[in-house]
Amino acid sequence: MKVLVPVKRVLDYNVKPRVKADGTGVDLANVKMSMNPFDEIAVEEAIRLKEKGVATEIVAVSIGEAKSQETLRTALAMGADRAILVQTDDKVEPLGVAKILKAICDEEQPGLVILGKQAIDDDNNQTGQMLAALTGWGQGTFASKVEVEGDKVSVTREVDGGLETDSFTLPAVVTTDLRLNEPRYASLPNIMKAKSKPLATKAPGDYGVDVSPRLTTLKVVEPAKRTAGVKVADVDELVAKLKALGVAK
Ligand code: AMP
C-alpha cells in the first residue's frame, strides 16, 4: 500500500510571529521555517506503517515555493521514499491544496493519505476534510491511534467527551493529532541519503488546478496585549474581589 503524506513549510513553531507593519500578513523574511509539526507526525506514522510491513511506499508532497524542497528533503531524510513538489509562489488556500492532492491521488492511487490536522500558520484545519470530500473517501480526523488491517483502517480520535474509534474502508484520509506519536529526528547518514532520493517538480497547472485565491485578507493584527494581573494576599481578599466583580456570592 502506498501512503501519501502532504507536508507544508511553515514558520517554525518556536518563532514568535511578527505582523508586517502594513497589516497585510505575517513577516516571513529571514525567519526560520520548518515542516508543520502535525505533518512531521504524519510522516512518522507513515514510516511506522512501513516498518510494520503495512505500507510499501511513502510519497511526500508539498505545495509551495521552491524552498518547500527543504521540507520535502526533511521528509525524505526521516524515511519517505520519494517526493513531489508542486511549485508555486502563490499562497494556495486549502481548497486549492485539496484539489491538487485529489489529482495526485488519481495519479498515485494511495491506500492512505495522512495529513496534519492543521497547518500552524493559518490554523485552517480544512485540507484533509476537503480532500476526503473531493475523493469521496472515508476520513478519520484528529487521530491519536491508527491501525490498518486488511482493507480497513481504524482511527481513534480525540473528541470532547473522550476517545472515539471509527473503522472505515481504504482508501482513506487521516489527519494527525499531537498524541499520535513522537516523530523521529533524521540521522546524518539519512540526511545525506535523502539528497539522492527522487524529487519531482510540478506546477499546479500540471494538475489542471487554478490556485487563484477566493479569499481576501482584510487585515492582520497582533493579539491585544494582556493586561497585568493583580496579586492577592490571601483567599479572603480573592473572594472579596470576586464578590465585587459579581463572580462569587
Ligand atoms: P490546513 O487545512 O491548512 O490547516 O492544513 C492541514 C494539513 O493539510 C497540513 O497539516 C498538511 O498536511 C496539508 N497541507 C496544507 N497545505 C499544504 C501545502 N501547501 N502543501 C502540502 N500540504 C499541505
Give the nearest ligand 1 atom to 6 CA: 22
Give the nearest ligand 1 atom to 68 CA: 20
With a 6 A CB cut-off, is 115 part of the ligand 1 pocket?
Answer: yes
| Segment 94-146, tens digit of pLDDT | 999 999 999 999 999 999 999 999 999 999 999 999 999 999 999 999 999 99
Gap between the Cα atoms of 227 and 230, Å rounded = 10
CA dihedral angle for residue 21, residue 65, residue 177, residue 215, rounded to 10 degrees: 60
pTM metric for this prediction: 0.91
Distance 195 CA to ligand 1 centre (A): 23
List the residue whose alpha carbon is closest to atom 17 of ligand 1.
8
With a 6 A CB cut-off, is 34 part of the ligand 1 pocket?
Answer: no
List the residue whose alpha carbon is closest to atom 16 of ligand 1.
8
With a 6 A CB cut-off, is 116 part of the ligand 1 pocket?
Answer: yes
| Segment 165-211, tens digit of pLDDT | 999 999 999 999 999 999 999 999 999 999 999 999 999 999 999 99
pLDDT of residue 158: 86
Per-residue pLDDT averaged across 222-229, rounded?
88
Interacting residues of 146 by C-beta distance below 8 A, sequence separation 6+: 45, 49, 114, 140, 153, 154, 155, 156, 174, 180
Q: What is the mean pLDDT of the chain?
A: 95
